Structure 1
């Protein structure tokens, strides 16, 4: 009987751990929902904080870190979340300046963040970089997610969208 209980517990724990593992495609798909949905944001924030290894994963970790600022009423926590995420994202971009996905993440955040936070100096640079380099991404699914997000965000005019979507 004891063996069955241990076996069942092991299966439950391993199922839980697998369910919590990082799925970057889900993170990408839900990226724009993290600002609005506190539960989703907290889920990704915690998962990414534990499991993010690659620069892109750390970029999304930074984004969800900043999104957490939206879901707290404490002004000090808001600034801590935002500044911590900003620092992490900037570090990833400094180390990987030609990574389209990292520049996309920063573009989206800087485009929508309130101007009083003073984090918008790279909007035009990132917008141009993403427009001129998205087509070079080898992963078609990721490219489609980014393109569709940007198309819906109305950051680009029709001519720019044509270049973005090539």
Structure 2
């Protein structure tokens, strides 16, 4: 019975990891291609505030990305606020988790100045640079590394420290 329970736990853990890996890839593609935003948004609909902080942050990102295509300015603003609220909730819930901060940084970097959502860029950047070496998931580490290398927020020197790790 004990071995059956351990086997089930390992299976559930593997499914969750695989699921998060898929979500990361979908987010990366949606952030680069507006045509893929709807599919990413639909994927994230089942996520609730009881899920992991990373999934909640990805849901927030999906809502914020979808808001860019809204027809009216009010819908764009409302969608953006809803998405950002979920990202902030995820960070508030698990402040020492790197993935929600990485997501927030990506959203902040690509948000127009008029929306005034750029307050935590430096804080998140420093958090990511300090915590990067402790990431155990190679998938997440590569995902964040790819972001850093294309980001305009990170200096060439900071990018070099990431590629050296």
RMSD (CA atoms): 1.8
Pairing partner for 1:49 from 45, 52, 55 = 45
When normalised by structure 2's length, the TM-score is: 0.80
Counterparts of 2:34 and 2:149, CA distance in 1: 25
Counterparts of 1:135 and 1:149, CA distance in 2: 15
**Matches for 1:16-165 after TM superposition, within 5 Å:** 23-35=19-31, 37-51=33-47, 53-165=51-163
CA deviations over 1:60-112 (Å, ceiling 9, x no partner): 00001000111122111111110001111101101111111111000111111
| More deviation, 62-71/146-155 | 146-155
Structure 1: gaps (5+ residues): 1-21
Aligned to 1:6: none
| More deviation, 60-69/28-37 | 28-37
Structure 2: gaps (5+ residues): 1-17
CA deviations over 1:8-51 (Å, ceiling 9, x no partner): xxxxxxxxxxxxxx932232123233245344211221221214
Q: Secondary structure at the match of 1:33?
A: helix
Larger CA Rg, structure 1 vs 2: 1
Q: Could you tell me whether the CA contact under 8 Å between 2:27 and 2:40 is conserved in 1?
A: no
Q: Secondary structure at the match of 2:68?
A: helix
When normalised by structure 1's length, the TM-score is: 0.79
Equivalent pairs counted in the alignment come to: 145
